[in-house]
Amino acid sequence: MPTVLILGAAGRIGRSLALAFARAGWRTLAVARRPLPQELAGVEALRLDALQVDELVAAAAGASVVVNALNAPYHRWDELALPLARAAQAVALRLGALLMLPGNVYSFGRELPAVLKPDTPEAGNTPKARLRIEMEAGMAATPGLDSVVIRAGDFFGGSGTGSWFDLAVTSRLHRGRVVYPGRTDVAHAWAYLPDLAQAFVAVAGRRAQLKGHRRLHFEGHTLTGAQLTEALATACRRPLRTAGLPWGLIRLASPLVPSWRAILEMRYLWERPHRLDGLALQALAGPLPATPLHEALAAALAPAGQPPGAKAQPSRFSSRPAS
């Protein structure tokens, strides 16, 4: 039985990854500092700190894959992102394991092009772009480390909260509104987490082919705000109208609220049309699961108490915009 070590398994993407690997027959070791959710009952929990390299190496002996699903809060990236990444690199290197990292589009900078390929030039012209570039460069530059980054758009689906989809877009569905952060005619990349997690499992199964460092893109769903609103209306079986995010209020409060300041830095992602080219990922892993959009949206709404046609619970976005 192959073994995978997932760092940050209690987080949103970590949960989806742990569930997907376990269902695929992998022995799944899940590192988290808080109890795992009930859905991961078949996963082996390791109550260790992600910076405890020696302890992690001892507990995960025999693991052939390490997934760095650690995600510091937006406003603490400067402090935590690189130390956590370096610890994950050290663990994977000592285990002789493939290191996998869920990537995003930040590393392409403010002027990101409309089509993003694995070899699209990066641009470190935002704070988070510079951090992501340094994280991935550290993986590529570590002698003897095999690693792969799978980049994806904004998450939706899976269990937990903390994404733009939960905290903004669907936060007012109970009032018949979609809160969209940008222009509704601009294309934006999205990733349905259960599908993305299965892509990770498929790539991990090719571990023997993956030497050195590689970047892959998960295509997911590319939608304008208008298309997303229409699809959500279909999933909810009710008409919806689009409202904007209160960027003026966020800007005014950002000097006092670090998480809002971090959100403001990412506004450009809603102003630049972009999609991810997934051909390289498909060439390596073969056909991947692609849940139809309306089905994925209905599933994404259900865990938050928003099954299609049901009255949703109010969101706390107005008081806690980011985790």
CATH code for the domain of 36? 3.40.50.720
Note whether residue 297 is domain-resident.
no
Note whether residue 174 is domain-resident.
no
Q: What is the pLDDT of residue 71?
A: 82
Q: What is the pLDDT of residue 75?
A: 66
**Number of domains into which the chain is organized:** 1
CB atoms within 10 A of CB 167: 20
Note whether residue 133 is domain-resident.
yes
Q: What is the pLDDT of residue 111?
A: 94
3-class secondary structure for the chain?
Answer: CCEEEEECCCCHHHHHHHHHHHHCCCEEEEECCCCCCHHHCCCEEECCCCCCHHHHHHHCCCCCEEEECCCCCHHHHHHHHHHHHHHHHHHHHHHCCEEEEEECCHHHCCCCCCEECCCCCCCCCCHHHHHHHHHHHHHHHCCCCCEEEEECCEEECCCCCCCHHHHHHCCCHHHCEEEECCCCCCCEEEEEHHHHHHHHHHHHCCHHHCCCEEEEECCCEEECHHHHHHHHHHHHCCCCEEEECCHHHHHHHCCCCHHHHHHHHCHHHHCCCCEECCHHHHHHHCCCCCCCHHHHHHHHHHHHCCCCCCCCCCCCCCCCCCC
Instruction: Please state, in angstroms and rounded to a whole number, the distance separating the CA atoms of residues 153 and 165.
Output: 11
- pTM of the predicted protein model: 0.90
Note whether residue 131 is domain-resident.
yes
Note whether residue 170 is domain-resident.
no
Domain holding 57, by residue range, is: 3-159+191-223+273-291
Which residues are registered as beta bridge partners of 65?
A: 4, 98
As a whole number of Å, the CA-based R_g of the chain is: 19
Q: Say what the alpha-carbon torsion angle 74, 125, 150, 115 is, to the nearest 10 degrees.
A: 120
Note whether residue 230 is domain-resident.
no
Note whether residue 141 is domain-resident.
yes
Note whether residue 61 is domain-resident.
yes
Instruction: Please state, in angstroms and rounded to a whole number, the distance separating the CA atoms of residues 123 and 268.
Output: 14
- Residues of the chain predicted below pLDDT 70: 74-75, 161, 303-323
